[in-house]
Structures are given as structure tokens and as C-alpha cells.
Structure 1
Amino acid sequence: PQTPLVPAIPREALRLYPVDSSDTDKLITRSIVLGDFESAVQLCLDSERLSDALLLAICSGGDLLARTQKIYFERQAKKTSYLRLLESIMSEDLSSVVETASLDEWTSVVVVLCTFARTEQFGVLCEALGLRLEDAWKAENDDIEKSNAYRRHATLCYLASGNLEKVSNIWIIEQEQEAQEEKTEARLGASLQKLIEKVTVFRKAIGYEDDSL
């Protein structure tokens, strides 16, 4: 048996150049008819039809799409934070997110890195975020609780980056602070032992090898 024909979806009659359309509309339509997406995109940009410009650029692809996206972000990114974030993701400029994001939202930055950073970028970017948090920790003199929070967050970023030196430096400072508070040699020894154990475990976890040994 023959397969029955699928009924056509009813559509309104299409008039390419309606009488009431603007001169710009007609020029854009003519450019599309001729396959001249470059001119069509430029006409849309000149008339602030940014969404239309992007759709037309997608039809062309390649360099035209890249240039149109760049112009779109230049004009729109300042209006919303999500467009700034999207621009950084699409341009593979995650370092700008690390450098400019509020430190109160550092966990979200780490999630962005986990989601979008290339493997070879991840450690470097986590370390850069850790540096910002460490600087904030050292600069915060009025609020001890906030200062300690920055230190913990910096430690986590350095752990994620696999930077033994940075992590160890913070742990040593913590151990020295604990040592000043301890009163007996036994407690001092326990504090030092705790530091050694943490460094040893971390070295094994990241497969750290000291070239000087």
C-alpha cells in the first residue's frame, strides 16, 4: 500500500516586498535574496537589529559570524552580567572571569572553570583565583573571620590547582599560628606532625616529585 501524503501545513501567502515595509526591510530582503549576508548583517547592525544580525550571520557562518558576535557583545554585554559571562566563555577568555568576578562568588567561578576550562587551563586559572583570595586574606585586617574565610578559600583553590608550594606556604603559616597558641611541647609536636601529614598526603595525591632530590 502507498504511504498517504502528509497534508501540507497551511501557511500565509508570502510577499517578499510588502507595500508597507520600510526601505531598510526591503534592502535586507534584497540582500538575502541575493545571498549577500554580509550586506544584510550590516544593514541590521546599522538599524540596531542585533538579534536579526546574529541570525543572518549564523546562516553565513565563519568570519562574519565571529565579527557579528563581537559587535553584539560590545553593544550588549554591559547590560547584563550573564552576557559578559557568555562573552568570556565563547571567546575562551576565562581569565577575565577569574580576574574580575566578585570574590564572594568564588565558588561559582570554580564551577565555571570546571564546566568550561580546558584541562591544561584549569590548574593555572584555579591558581590565579587562589592568588586573588590570598591577597584578600592578607589585606583583610579588620575582620578576622572574613580573613580566615579568604585563607580557607585560597587553600581550596590551590589544592584544586595542584600547587604544592602555595598550599604548603599557607599550611606553614597556620601551623606557626597554632604553635604560638600551644603551651606544651607535646601539642607543638602534634601540630607539626599534622602539617607533615597534610603535605605528604597532598604530594601523593598529585604525584608531586621534587627535582632537587
Structure 2
Amino acid sequence: MTDNNAVFDAIAAGKQATDGQNASATSKQNGTGGGEIPYKIRTGQDKEGLICEALLTGNLEAAIELCMQAGKTSEALILAMNSGSDLLAKVQYRYLRDNENYLSNLISALVLCDWTGVVTQCTIDSWKEALVAAITHCKHQLPLLCERLGERLQGEAVSNADLARNAILCYICAGSTERLVEAWQLSKGGQPSSDPATGEDELDKNNNSNRDLQELVEVSMLLQKALEKQGRSAPAVGKLADLLSQYARLLAAQGSLPSALTYLGNSTDPEMEELRERLYYALGHKTYTPAAPTRPQYASQQQQQQQQPPFNPMFPTIGQAAKMKAYGQSLPPAPVPTLNPVSTMPQ
């Protein structure tokens, strides 16, 4: 059976050993240990000597400049961290400027909060990484950067149709519905079309075209609804307006007039407005009321005739007399006043 006193003695010995180790570590940190190696502070005209002099005299800006010239970037950054934000920004800029590689470019974009260079200068096969960086770090510039990345992919899609589909994803992230329609049509344009020699091939071609149109409209409308939830909705213009007008006509031709009207929305595009008015009348929301013909010239003449005084041949007005003279009519003789005979005979 183990002796209880021996157990307690072992516990006490272990505690003393631990306390000794802690005391040794504390003495090393305070510089009071016996194992410290003495060193000489170098001063002089060499690089390290000048850096030491600048540190001893408190001239941190000069010390940082000397460290950068000597290639001691780590030391310069440590000193700049204790010298204010302006000096730290200068050191960071010089370091990133002097180290031109993809890693320093990413660090520079992260420090400066500007990922435009990464999106515009990365290779096309790095578009996924650039898109991830934009989504992660650029909340306010996300639509602009994603659209620029999509434009780069769309520009290279002439030789590679897959890039057009990648551009579609970038435009969805950017919320650019109109550019989405352009990229979608470009991605479908590279597909081989059916030979219209037979009616069956022509029917298959039309069915495929209608299915592609419906799929594109569904994606575009979903993106529009998502933008409305974010408060970024915009009226349909350009290629998006042409797309919705085409789809609305297709629905109207199939007899789905109410459904066709829903895809026109409140856009101010002239073509969509005209189609919307036609659907309103076809559905009975508006009725056509022909306007009464107006003849303003005839009405004005009639009004003038009503305002003229009646014609009196004995006493014509100046205007009536001028008209009669113009038509060659002679004016009626002026009436001669008659005097009542007065008797002159004396009474």
C-alpha cells in the first residue's frame, strides 16, 4: 500500500519545480538572467550604424527611410506601426510598389481597398478568383466590377462560347439585366442551327427558339424581381425591352392576353407602350371613343356672321357699304327730308 506521506511529498516537489521554471522565465524576460549575451551598439557611417544613430536620437522617419534603402522592409514596417498612420501608409505603398508580383497585387488591393486592378488585369482564366474577390471585399463597387469582368469575358467569347456563359454569371452578380440578355444571345448564337429544308426541321427550330426565349425571359424576370427587393429596380430599356416585347407578342398570338400584359410592366419604351395600349383595348380595359369632327374655320365664320348686325339697305354700315361697292351694286339714294307745308298767308 502506498504511503500517503510519500504522495504529498511528490506533489510538493512538483510544485517547487514549476515555480522554479516560472521564475527562470521571468528573469529572462526582465533581462536579469545569467545567460544573456552582451552586444555592442554599432554606430558609424555604414547602413546599420546610421540606422542605430537614428533610433537612438528618436528620428524614426530617418530610421525607416534607411531601413527601406537597406532592404530591411520588415524592420521599416515595425517602426512605421509606431510612427502614425501617414508614415505607415507611405511604407506600405513603397513596399507594394517595389514588389511587382501577383501576391503583392492582391495585398495592395486589400490594403488600399481597390480591387479594380485585379479585375481588369488578371488573366481570363482567373475570372473565378477575381469574381470571388469582388464579392468578398467590394460591397459598394460590386455591380461595377462584376460588369467589367463580364465585359472582358464577353469580349473573348467570340472564340470560346463558354466564356459567354461565364459572362452571364458575372452580369447576374452585377444585376445588369440588359447585358445579361446580350451575353445570353451570344452564347446561343454559337449553337448549330437546324437545316430548314424540311418542315419538321423548321418546326423543331421554332420550338427550340421559343424555349430559349422563354428561358431567357424567366431568368431576366427573376433578376428584375431580385433587384426590386434590393431597391435597385430599373425600367426595361434597350435589348431587355425588345426581349419582353417579343415574348409578349408571342403570348398574345397564342391568346394569352393577360399574361402578355404582365410582361410589359410600366416601361416607357415606345414599342412596349404601343403594345400595352393595344392589349388594353383588346381586353376591354379601355374603349375607343371616336372624337367628333371639328371645323374651327367654319365655326368661326358662323360666329362672325351671328355677331354682325342685320343688313339695312337704307342705312348700311361702313363694312356693308364696302362689300356692296366691291360687288358693283349701287348704293341706294339717300332719303330726302320732306317739310310740312306751312301756310304763309296772313290771317
TM range (shorter): 0.7 to 0.9
Matched residue, 2:180: 167
Which one of the candidate residues 143, 146, 154 is aligned to 1:126? 146
Task: Return the letter of the residue paired with 1:189.
Answer: N
Within the alignment, does 1:210 sit opposite 2:235 as a pair? yes
- 1:156 is aligned, of 160, 165, 169, to 169
Structure with the largest fraction of helix = 1
Counterpart code for 2:149: L
1:137 equivalenced with 2:154 (yes/no):
no
In structure 1, the partner of 2:71 is 48
> How many angstroms apart in 1 are the aligned matches of 2:170 and 2:152?
10
Alpha-carbon distance in structure 2 between the residues aligned to 1:151 and 1:115: 23
2:147, 2:171 within 8 Å by CA — same for their partners in 1? yes
Once residues 152 and 9 of structure 1 are traced to their aligned partners in structure 2, the CA distance between those partners, rounded to angstroms, is 66
Alpha-carbon distance in 2 for matches of 1:176, 1:17: 74
User: Against the structure 1 CA distance between its residues 204 and 183, is the aligned structure 2 distance closer, same or farther, given a 3 Å change threshold?
Assistant: same
Alignment of 1:1-213 (within 5 A): 7=23, 8-10=26-28, 11=31, 12=36, 15=39, 17-18=41-42, 23-76=46-99, 78=100, 80-117=101-138, 119-138=139-158, 140=159, 147-174=160-187, 180-181=193-194, 183-184=202-203, 185-207=206-228, 208-210=233-235, 212-213=267-268
Distance 1:206 1:53, change over 3 A: same
- TM-score after normalising by structure 2: 0.51
Share of identical aligned residues, percent? 27
Partners of 1:31 and 1:192 in 2: CA distance:
72
**Partner amino acid, structure 2, of 1:55:** I
1:90 and 1:9 mapped to 2: Cα distance?
A: 40
Counterpart Cα distance in 1 of 2:27 and 2:45:
29
Moved beyond 4 Å, runs of 4+: 13-16, 173-180
* One-letter identity of the residue aligned with 2:87: L
1:25 Cα shift? 2.3
Q: Deviations over 1:94-139 (max 9, x none)?
A: 110011101101101111112221x21111101110010011113x
Does the CA contact (< 8 Å) of 1:97 and 1:109 recur in 2?
yes
Q: Is the 8 A contact 1:158 1:167 kept in 2?
A: yes
Partner of 1:143: none
* Distance (whole Å) between structure 1 residues aligned to residue 53 and residue 177 of structure 2: 63
- Greater displacement, 107-116 / 194-203: 194-203
CA distance in 1, matches of 2:149, 2:27: 55
CA distance in 2, matches of 1:160, 1:9: 59
**Which of 1 and 2 has greater Rg?**
2
In 2, the alpha carbon distance for the partners of 1:176 and 1:183 equals 17
- Preserved CA contact (<8 Å) 1:136 1:150: yes
Partners of 1:73 and 1:107 lie apart in 2 by 24
Task: Name the TM-score, length of structure 1 as normaliser.
Answer: 0.80
CA shift in 2, pair 1:172/1:64, >3 Å: same
Deviation at 1:178, TM superposition (A): 6.6
Structure scoring higher RCO (CA < 8 A, sep ≥ 6) equals 1
Task: Give the drift of 1:173.
Answer: 4.2
* Superposed displacement of residue 18, structure 1: 4.8
Between stretches 24-33 and 89-98, larger displacement belongs to 24-33
Amino acid at match of 2:86: D
